[in-house]
Amino acid sequence: MNPTNRIAQLVEQLNEHNYRYAVLNDPVISDREYDALLRELSDLEARHPDLIQPDSPTQRVTSDLTREFPTVQHDVPMLSLDNTYSEDELRDFEDRIRRELPDEELQYVAELKIDGVALSLIYENGLLIRGVTRGNGTQGEDITPNVKTIKSIPIRLKACAEMGLFSNPVSYCEIRGEVYLDHNTFDAINVQREKNEENPFANPRNAASGSLKLQDAQQVAERRLSFFAYSFRSPNIQLPTHGENLSYLESLGLPVNTNRALCNNIDDIIAQAREWQEKRPDLPYDIDGIVIKVNSIAQQNKLGATSKSPRWAISYKYSAEQAETVLKHITLQVGRTGVITPVANLEPVQLAGTTVSRATLHNAEELERKDIREGDTVILEKGGDVIPKVVRVVTAKRAKDAAEFEFPKNCPVCDAPLIKDETEVAIRCENSQCTAQLKGNIRHFASRTAMDIEGLGTALVEQLVDNKLVRDVGDLYNLKLEELADLERMAEKSAQNVLDALEANKQQPFHRVLFALGIRHIGATVARALSDNFHSIDRLRETPPEEIEAVHEIGAAIAESIHTYLNIESNWAIVEKLRAAGINLESEAPADTGPKPLEGKTVVVTGTFTRWGRQQAQDLIRALGGKPTSSVSGKTDLVIAGEKAGSKLAKAEQLGIDVLNEEKFIELIGEENA
Ligand code: IVH
């Protein structure tokens, strides 16, 4: 590929990965993979400076600014560290320092690189006055109320007479460090999330970062975050070395990681790198490497910094943790849409802080490619996802008689023949009566983003299907109190609660019902577009696919899928059951057929409103012809800013985009629409 195209491709990929990492907290590649792409891009750009794109990730310090907290300027920018991945690169770093400071005596501090979220704390006269995220390095978000819930961060610094140095706390200082979650707390949070049918966090770092950005400090407190301080700066006190700063931080009452060491030369540094690589699995929290810092502050100042990172420090990053274990057997999981996923059942093993006993094998092709067999010894790794994957087989340890895995020909649940569609990788069970699919369908129907039926969790769905009380989602609304109360572990009170939830639930709008049906390719957004354009399930059923496809957001596969689904008798029977139960199968056609006030406009909502929640405000924009999006850019036509609007408002003002507050927005759309 020529450099122009490759650069364009890398910029696009990296920006998307960065967004997934920083905004969605849902990365799909590891830091190492990200850095490798970034390095490829900056090497290419160095060779072809004329091809540098303005939106290249090399052109800015990455940002974690998201939404709703006030933005504040850092006194001193929060830089990041340069990464190295090999001992040779560590040697290069040390050589560089020696070249820059010839004939000087050098010492280094090696510290753990805690895999959490950077935080800046400002203390005045010993009192914590502000806690700020790194943000884009220059500006961060003021999350003080959330920070105050972290028990190991002192609200008041200790007077440090004990140290014999100073009798009073400093009048002003900034302390930086890392917020993190230890493994036990992280596991407890995920157990709770699964109980609540929320997606588990992929790793402790994502959980810590998501927690710090919660709007409700009470909820943050429940996350039991921890903190390690790693830097201190004050106009009142200038200690000569970083090591002394760390000790001073301890005497002020801050938690400082005790796993740190003074190094006199590169051999000491490399010994530390190896030692912690070895001990890493035994630590009660995640680290992703170690950090090497020049100890003398005077030398740090001489070395200075680039716009992104200090020249006196470097991180040595470890690869994703791996573990070796035995794959006992391979089972098949049947998903809601009938897709079969092979799963590795493992001899339980510790990996990155959790016990792993299952790993996804993705699909038959992957199984074949990696030649994974039952009884094999395998290497596991956690990628960007919470579910570990099998990286490879240790073939040297394979039993001589290990047979190739033969992918079953029939569904493990209903025994129907499995079918491979030549156009995709997936192998499916196409029996719509398969109970595994039915259970998946009901769980989907009841889930938060679909019908949101409280109390209809996995265990109850299992019982309802196994006891043949429910044969399709239409049956849910015919359940009787006695039937439910007769189920194991179901008290009459809970049974009544489920019935009440089902009753209350009949008010859900049509687009949710359409999404809840679980029709292939019909996600929440498509369901909304279908509802907005066709207004009723009857009309949708009658409309030929070509006409459905004419709607802007709808492609051919979607149009075909909805048309086919609704015209299969057994599916339509489910719809009729829902109709009989009083479920919404129509959406209100907008009363006003005249021009819509936001027609064709791209609109961003930020902050909080008195009349609507975020979702409602976005629905409103859609209904008025606008397109709600989440980030402010040159393409944004309008920003609606509520109370406590933060960085998005600032950006809109910077770009000269029209901004309306709640009152002015209501004026624009008319009171009747608000
Ligand atoms: S020193 C100039 N020390 O790693 C940067 N950073 O890009 C000074 N981190 O998000 C950072 N443990 O929050 C330093 N012992 C440690 C650290 C550490 C974790 C984080 C830091 C930043 C990233 C570096």
Q: Which of 113, 213, 317, 382 is catalytic?
A: 113
Can you give the pLDDT at residue 387?
74
**Of 83, 175, 178, best ligand 1 pocket probe by most atoms within 8 Å of the beta carbon:** 178
**CB-based contacts of 253: which residues, under 8 Å, 6+ apart?**
154, 157, 158
Can you give the pLDDT at residue 216?
82
- Residue 397 annotated as catalytic: no
Task: Count Cβ atoms below 10 Å from residue 506 Cβ, excluding itself.
Answer: 14
Can you give the pLDDT at residue 25?
56
What is the C-alpha separation between 484 and 619, in angstroms, rounded? 36
Minimum CA distance residue for ligand 1 atom 15: 113
Q: Is residue 228 lining ligand 1, measured as CB closer than 6 Å?
A: no
8 A C-beta contact, residue 213 and residue 132: no
Q: How far does the centroid of ligand 1 lie from the alpha carbon of residue 80, in Å? A: 7
Q: How far does the centroid of ligand 1 lie from the alpha carbon of residue 628, in Å? A: 36
Structure tokens at 279: 């001990």
**CB-based contacts of 546: which residues, under 8 Å, 6+ apart?**
559
Can you give the pLDDT at residue 62?
41
Structure tokens at 115: 């895999």
Minimum CA distance residue for ligand 1 atom 12: 113
Can you give the pLDDT at residue 26?
66
Can you give the pLDDT at residue 15?
75
Q: Give the pairing type, strands 602-606 and 627-629.
A: parallel
Can you give the pLDDT at residue 65?
39
Q: Is residue 111 lining ligand 1, measured as CB closer than 6 Å?
A: yes
Structure tokens at 270: 């490399």
Nearest ligand 1 atom to alpha carbon 119: 13
Q: How far does the centroid of ligand 1 lie from the alpha carbon of residue 83, in Å? A: 11
Minimum CA distance residue for ligand 1 atom 1: 230
What is the C-alpha separation between 513 and 578, in angstroms, rounded? 9
Nearest ligand 1 atom to alpha carbon 309: 2
Could you give phi then psi for residue 531, rounded to 5 degrees?
-65, -45
AA identity, residue 633? S
Q: What is the CA radius of gyration of the chain?
A: 29
Token pair 């929320």 is at which residue?
Answer: 198
Can you give the pLDDT at residue 12?
83
Look at the chain and count its residues. 674
Q: Is residue 81 lining ligand 1, measured as CB closer than 6 Å?
A: yes
Burial class (CB in 10 A: 0-12, 13-18, 19+), 556: exposed
Q: How far does the centroid of ligand 1 lie from the alpha carbon of residue 30, in Å? A: 18
Q: How far does the centroid of ligand 1 lie from the alpha carbon of residue 587, in Å? A: 52
**Of 21, 35, 63, 114, best ligand 1 pocket probe by most atoms within 8 Å of the beta carbon:** 114
Successive 10-residue mean pLDDT values, the chain, 674 residues: 88 76 66 81 86 74 52 94 93 97 96 97 92 93 92 82 53 96 92 78 88 87 94 93 96 93 97 94 92 98 94 93 93 90 93 84 88 95 75 92 93 92 80 90 90 89 94 95 90 90 92 92 84 94 92 81 93 96 85 65 84 68 79 89 82 87 79 63
Q: Is residue 310 lining ligand 1, measured as CB closer than 6 Å?
A: yes
Three-state DSSP class for residue 514: helix
Q: How far does the centroid of ligand 1 lie from the alpha carbon of residue 439, in Å? A: 46
Could you give phi then psi for residue 404, rounded to 5 degrees?
-55, 145
What residues form DSSP beta bridges with 360?
343, 389
Can you give the pLDDT at residue 615?
63
